Amino acid sequence: MFKIENSNMNKNSDMKQKKLARLAGFYYLINVILSVFYMEYLPSQIVVWGDAEATMSNLLNNEMLYRFGVIAGIFVHISFIMLPLTLYRLLNHINKQYAIVMVLFALISVPISFTLLIDQIELIGIVTDYSSLDITGQTGANLKAITFFERLTNGFFLCQTFWGLWLFPFGYLVFKSGFLPKFLGVALMLGCITYMIDVVGGVMFSNYYEYFNTRILIIPAAIGEIGMCLWLLIVGVKANIKF
């Protein structure tokens, strides 16, 4: 009788872990897809660095795309609140201190990210009123638009500190879990290191980006995060993983 009850408890625990893993994978998927759209695709369609007039022209021609981008940004940040909190429930029994640090580093970036949306929402008002402005007003609006995008880029750079730091405790917990792939844990921890190299290098050396490509540096983090997202969604958790 005791063995049957114990077996049922283990099954219930396994089911709960799998549900948590897939929920975390769902939040991760939302975050990854919308982040690519919001942080990469949208600016590439609008911003012409050094040309405020062309930037505003692109913005006017892609107004609905931009508005959708603001909504996407809101959901990016909401998903990045839910993701570490769900991962905490999944992983805190491995090492509670590391799990707490993981959540703190992730959540610190969220208020900074939401603050960046203030400029983006203000820019919607500028676009709406643009046609009613005189030449001087339109010139000022052009400058505001490109300044807001520059501030957005700088804000993302600041957030990159915490987007990197949270990966180390997360990767450690994955590595130690026994039910998630160790190699993804290693990739996440390496991702933390390469993110921080990029942040420190970008601040300390004026010619840093002449020698280092950020897209190459974040490859370990991309492998770890996208791989983790897909694993959580498709597999969930799997006992006694050896790789």
What confidence tens digit (pLDDT) does each residue in 141-183 have?
999 999 999 999 999 999 999 999 999 999 999 999 999 999 9
Residue located via tokens 């610190």: 108
H or E element that contains 200: helix 182-204
Domain ranges of the chain: 11-234
Residue 68 neighbours by CB distance under 10 Å: 14
Task: With 0.75 as the threshold, say if the pTM is over it.
Answer: yes
> What does the DSSP assignment read for 68-109?
HHHHHHHHHHHHHHHHHHHHHHHHTTT-HHHHHHHHHHHHHH
What confidence tens digit (pLDDT) does each residue in 175-227 have?
999 999 999 999 999 999 999 999 999 999 988 888 888 888 889 999 999 99
